[in-house]
């Protein structure tokens, strides 16, 4: 007679086991993903399964009502104390008697798939660095001189196969009373470590401790610092928050901060202290929003550009301000929160993704992790648009990377009526090609006309300026309406047929909105604004084009626009402007904040850290500053859209 057959769904894994085998044991032997924190003692309920009964022609089995053993005392006790969903059993207590089909619900899977957010390119499989383990520790004995820690380590090794554990002094100091209070039964939070550092016991609680473990994914930008607080056992984002980077008072852009450190003794240290203090404020904010204590946060992942990276670490960014732009280290870093002055759990670890090169930072590595060009069958161009554009081009055979100094024009800076994307900013625009009249949408108000045609500007108050996406759309629309020519000159009223083109010094400006009668601003696009956008977009395009040269291709299969700003760029306008190479519009997508997504992937899946470290080692870095063709592309790309490169797909 054959042993009973156990079939697990949804994995489809199956095997025969002697009657009396607990379902948890069968799952482990078959490699089925079934969770357990208490090691099968009927305490944690993480092992819940749903047995199915009846006919299963697909699996070739009939499951009898007595296929599993009846409820035992442990299972009954759990059910009466905590309650269980109808039809569920504890996998560690229910034993197989006859052929059975077992469903493992998503919440009982260790490596659950985290629900994918819109615009995310890949699934996140939960496999966090910090895990809880319940253990029973041998009591001390006059005949056995080992210490309590050694016996705890033995228990973790024997019961959970976790070895080579380190412990912080503070955790050690609390250990003996906790073990005794728990009656030698304790729950440990263990940071599982990686190739680079050893696992570590972070905290020990008496008895069975069942509370969420939290982690932070932080995108440290030069303008803003944004963080997501995640429940590391479910993958859920429980709170998100952001603050302005307090380093802004030392300089708006990266190079001015590097100059500040060069010109002022102790300047770099001041900026390090400012950003770390800002982080602590942000962490207070996010913890209070989630209603938790920030000492419950045990792990944090950071992504940032190289200058932010160095200043955060307390490394003077001096070398990044001059050729050959040497990084202090490009490796990923595993540090403690305490050594970075971050007030989280006293044993919290932090992880910084690797940098790709002196100008291509951990933020670009996070984009590579999120968008995975190295796994793409088709050739994908990934552009992370910010004050510095980070550009990746590649497929599963090869990935190239570079950065290009676009400057802050795409964020509305250095534009005469420019402003950040905030209420009052024009964010979308259209210009009627016949009447040359503009129509626009303003953040925080309903300005965009729903009427057919757009002959006039809808009267409004509260317009304050133009943000990055607005200026891109306006310049592209001005080009399409014949208000500005290929080289970037705004024509006169006679040349363009629009009274909105007004003489402004020695060049013309295009009047967008005149609110002066109501005490509001007069908003124009000046020829200087056009010039700023030309410079920024030419830098972006030339970087992308240079990578295409290196790849020996003249087109790409698809384009991904990343960065918070990338989410707001209209692909059509970006292409009309010649910011990005020609491609079918439906092949241009936005990945939203891909760097932030990459940070979240690295937070929730520890193997992703090894993966990105390997990927980054294989990426070929191109330094635009020393490539003669960059200049050539830049000159051509200064035209709108380009002096020599046609856009046949866009025009078709």
Residue 249 CA to residue 267 CA, distance in Å, equals 12
Instruction: Select from 6, 44, 101, 344 the one that contacts ligand FES (CB under 6 A).
Output: 44
Give the residue with the Cβ less far from ligand FES, 36 or 524.
36
Give the residue with the Cβ less far from ligand FES, 45 or 171.
45
Is there binding between residue 36 and ligand FES (CB under 6 A)?
yes
Binding mask 424-453 for ligand FES (x = CB under 6 A): ------------------------------
Instruction: Select from 38, 178, 530, 539 the one that contacts ligand FES (CB under 6 A).
Output: 38
Is there binding between residue 320 and ligand FES (CB under 6 A)?
no
Give the residue with the Cβ less far from ligand FES, 37 or 380.
37
Least distance (Å) between residue 167 CB and ligand FES: 25
Give the residue with the Cβ less far from ligand FES, 88 or 98.
88
Give the residue with the Cβ less far from ligand FES, 33 or 437.
33
Least distance (Å) between residue 34 CB and ligand FES: 8
Q: Pick the piece of the chain touching ligand FES (CB under 6 A) from 10-18, 36-44, 268-276, 638-646.
A: 36-44
Closest residue by Cα to residue 300 from 338, 326, 268, 248: 338
Give the residue with the Cβ less far from ligand FES, 79 or 398.
79
Least distance (Å) between residue 79 CB and ligand FES: 11
Is there binding between residue 47 and ligand FES (CB under 6 A)?
yes
Is there binding between residue 346 and ligand FES (CB under 6 A)?
no
Query: Which residue number has the CB closest to ligand FES?
Result: 92
Is there binding between residue 131 and ligand FES (CB under 6 A)?
no
According to DSSP, the residues that pair with 590 across neighbouring strands are 561
Residue 455 CA to residue 334 CA, distance in Å, equals 59
Closest residue by Cα to residue 102 from 42, 23, 35, 25: 23
Chain positions 7 to 26 lying near ligand FES, rule: CB under 6 A, are 24
With residue 230 as reference, give the H or E element that holds it: strand 224-231
Pairing mode of beta strands 61-63, 54-56: antiparallel
Asked if 622 and 380 touch (Cβ cutoff 8 Å), the reply is no
Is there binding between residue 42 and ligand FES (CB under 6 A)?
yes
Give the residue with the Cβ less far from ligand FES, 74 or 255.
74
With residue 528 as reference, give the H or E element that holds it: helix 527-551
Is there binding between residue 46 and ligand FES (CB under 6 A)?
yes
Closest residue by Cα to residue 562 from 593, 536, 585, 588: 593
Residue 460 CA to residue 212 CA, distance in Å, equals 49
Residue 186 CA to residue 137 CA, distance in Å, equals 8
Least distance (Å) between residue 40 CB and ligand FES: 5
Give the residue with the Cβ less far from ligand FES, 27 or 576.
27
Give the residue with the Cβ less far from ligand FES, 93 or 593.
93
Is there binding between residue 40 and ligand FES (CB under 6 A)?
yes
Instruction: Select from 7, 61, 92, 297 the one that contacts ligand FES (CB under 6 A).
Output: 92
Give the residue with the Cβ less far from ligand FES, 40 or 306.
40
Q: Pick the piece of the chain touching ligand FES (CB under 6 A) from 12-20, 89-97, 183-191, 623-631.
A: 89-97
Least distance (Å) between residue 188 CB and ligand FES: 15
Asked if 139 and 176 touch (Cβ cutoff 8 Å), the reply is no
CA distances from 604 to 115, 365, 371 (A): 12, 16, 16
Task: Spell out the long-range contacts of 606-609 with Cβ–Cβ below 8 A and sequence spacing 24 or more.
Answer: 606/127, 606/128, 606/129, 606/192, 606/194, 607/127, 608/369, 609/194, 609/332, 609/351, 609/353
Least distance (Å) between residue 35 CB and ligand FES: 8
Asked if 337 and 300 touch (Cβ cutoff 8 Å), the reply is yes
Residue 303 CA to residue 444 CA, distance in Å, equals 30
Residue 566 CA to residue 443 CA, distance in Å, equals 17
Least distance (Å) between residue 84 CB and ligand FES: 11
Closest residue by Cα to residue 532 from 418, 623, 403: 418
* Chain residues in the site for ligand FES (CB under 6 A): 24, 36, 38, 40-47, 90-92
């Amino acid at each position: 007679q054959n042993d009973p057959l156990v079939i697990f769904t949804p994995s489809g894994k199956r095997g025969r086991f002697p009657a009396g085998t607990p379902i948890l044991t069968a799952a482990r032997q078959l490699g089925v993903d079934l969770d357990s924190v208490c090691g099968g003692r009927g305490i944690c309920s993480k092992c819940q399964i749903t047995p199915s009964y009846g006919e299963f022609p697909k699996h070739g089995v009939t499951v009898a009502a007595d296929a599993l053993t009846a409820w035992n005392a442990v299972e009954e006790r759990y059910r009466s104390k905590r309650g269980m969903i109808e039809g569920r059993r504890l996998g560690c207590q229910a034993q197989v008697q006859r052929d059975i089909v077992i469903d493992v619900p998503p919440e009982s899977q260790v490596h659950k798939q985290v629900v994918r957010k819109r615009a995310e390119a890949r699934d996140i499989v939960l496999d966090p660095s910090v895990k809880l383990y319940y253990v029973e520790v041998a009591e001390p004995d006059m005949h056995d001189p080992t210490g309590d820690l050694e016996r705890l380590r033995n228990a973790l090794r024997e019961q959970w196969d976790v070895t080579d554990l380190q412990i912080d002094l503070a955790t050690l100091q609390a250990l003996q009373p906790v073990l005794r209070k728990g009656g030698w039964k304790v729950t440990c939070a263990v940071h599982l470590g990686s190739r680079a550092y050893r696992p570590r016991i972070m905290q020990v609680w008496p008895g069975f401790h069942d509370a969420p473990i939290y982690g932070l994914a932080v995108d440290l930008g030069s303008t803003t610092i944004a963080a997501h607080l995640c429940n590391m056992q479910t993958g859920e984002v429980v709170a998100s928050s952001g603050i302005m980077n307090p380093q802004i008072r030392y300089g708006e852009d990266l190079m001015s901060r590097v100059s500040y450190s060069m010109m002022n003794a102790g300047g770099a240290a001041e900026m390090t202290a400012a950003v770390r203090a800002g982080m602590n404020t942000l962490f207070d904010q996010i913890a209070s929003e989630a209603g938790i204590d920030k000492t419950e946060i045990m792990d944090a992942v950071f992504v940032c550009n190289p200058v932010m990276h160095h200043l955060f670490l307390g490394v003077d960014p001096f070398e990044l301000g001059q050729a050959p732009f040497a990084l202090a280290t490009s490796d990923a870093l595993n540090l403690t929160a305490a050594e970075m002055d971050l007030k989280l759990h006293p044993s919290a670890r932090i992880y910084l993704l690797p940098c790709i090169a002196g100008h291509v930072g951990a933020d670009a590595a996070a984009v590579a992790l999120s968008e995975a060009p190295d796994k793409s069958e088709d050739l994908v161009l990934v552009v992370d648009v910010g004050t510095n554009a980070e550009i990746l081009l590649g497929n599963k055979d090869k990935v190239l990377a570079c950065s290009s100094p676009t400057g802050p024009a795409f964020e509305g800076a250095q534009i005469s009526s420019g402003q950040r994307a905030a209420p009052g900013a024009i964010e979308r625009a259209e210009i009627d090609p016949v009447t040359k009249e503009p129509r626009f949408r303003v953040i925080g108000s309903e300005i965009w006309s729903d009427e057919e045609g757009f002959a006039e500007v809808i009267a409004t108050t509260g317009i304050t300026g133009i943000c990055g996406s607005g200026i891109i759309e306006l310049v592209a629309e001005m080009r399409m309406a014949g208000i500005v020519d290929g080289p970037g000159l705004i024509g006169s009223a006679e040349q363009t047929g629009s009274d909105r083109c007004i003489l402004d010094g020695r060049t013309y400006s295009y009047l967008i909105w005149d609110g002066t009668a109501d005490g509001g601003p007069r908003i124009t696009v000046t020829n200087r604004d056009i010039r700023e956008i030309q410079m920024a977009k030419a830098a972006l395009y030339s970087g992308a084009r240079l990578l295409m040269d290196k790849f020996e291709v003249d087109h790409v299969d698809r384009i991904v626009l990343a960065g918070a700003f990338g989410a707001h760029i209209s692909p059509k306008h970006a292409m009309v402007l010649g910011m990005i190479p020609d491609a079918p519009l439906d092949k241009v997508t936005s990945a939203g904040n891909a760097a932030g997504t990459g940070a979240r992937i690295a937070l929730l899946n520890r193997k992703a850290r090894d993966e990105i470290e390997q990927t980054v080692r294989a990426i070929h870095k191109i330094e635009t500053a020393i490539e003669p063709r960059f200049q050539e592309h830049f000159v051509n790309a200064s035209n709108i859209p380009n002096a020599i490169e046609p856009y046949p797909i866009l025009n078709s």
